[in-house]
Amino acid sequence: MKTPLIIEQHFHGAYGVDFNKASKDDIILLAAKLREIGIGGFFPTLVTDSSENIKKQVAVIKEASKHCKEILGIHLEGIFINPLKKGIHNPEWVLPLTVENYKKIEDDFIKIVTLAPELDENLIEYLNIKGVKVQAGHCIGWINEGNTARHIDGATHTFNAMSPVSHRGVSTALAALIDDSVYAEIIGDGIHVSDDALKLFFKSKPSSRVILVSDALPITYSDLTEAVFADSKIYYDGKKAVSAAGTIAGSTKLLPEIIKILNTKGLFKPEYIENVYLYHKLEPNGEIEWDEDFNILNIKYT
């Protein structure tokens, strides 16, 4: 079986490289490691930080992209979230969802912004006009129903750090499941979402609207057992990475491994790999040949 190369649209680093701290050379070396495992494109994802450091790292990543075509743009996950659903993020750096605040870090290389729609102060409309993908995440709200001037393109790591499925009122997770117009990310690492919730997700979402993400941490595939991420010390026990308070920080697996996990549960479809290309209007730059258990047999770049 053959598919396009894998694209990671939501991950914070791997092999010890943290996009919030990395140098240009760090990122270029990371891209080379990712190519070896079939990841042919990625959106470096920045966690909540000071606007000064976000701006600096946007420039660093953009410079790295001049030497590395696999870097497709930046996913800005932090700054514009709801502190009530902060997860591992540091609420000290969260800013109101205004155009003025976005302009503090604005760059044409930012392609995805995760934000809390319930706190929007006209930022969503501005991002829509600019062609930036808007994803609801670290939030409790939703706005798409009946609203064409401001719209959400996707949901960030569905179920995690959002209001849960409920049979009363508005719920971000419920809206993400039933709104067939939006793409929805899901972390299938076996840690972030239970098997039953995964089954609900894959039954509810049209196959064409599923985006597999790893949300991988810099500690992923490194020899580190602890590290500072998002201003918090996190600890890796060989299975999951958590803060001192027990908050799950992010995944410690990348998508090739997650695909195998989902396949063993009968929940993987090859078209999930293609969806991210459609979402961002990208052309494949190679292909992967897989065996029947979704082990990679061959990687070809064009």
Which residues are the active-site residues? 215
Torsion, Cα of 193, 195, 197, 201 (10° steps): 100
Task: Tell the residue number behind the tokens 């743009």, with chain if given.
Answer: 73
What's 216's DSSP letter?
B
Which residue, among 238, 278, 292, 206, has the nearest Cα to 4 in the 3D structure? 278
Q: Which residues contact 173 (CB under 8 A, 6 or more apart)?
A: 155, 158, 159, 162, 163, 164, 165
Q: Is 239 exposed, middle or buried (0-12, 13-18, 19+ CB in 10 A)?
A: exposed
The token pair that represents 102 in the structure block: 């976005």
Q: Residue 194 region, left (φ>0) first, then alpha (ψ -120 to 50), else beta?
A: beta
Q: Which residues contact 151 (CB under 8 A, 6 or more apart)?
A: 124, 128, 134, 143, 144
176/294 Cα distance (integer angstroms): 28
Q: What is the DSSP string of 121-140?
A: EBHHHHHHHHT-EEEE-SBS
Q: Which residues contact 96 (CB under 8 A, 6 or more apart)?
A: 119, 121
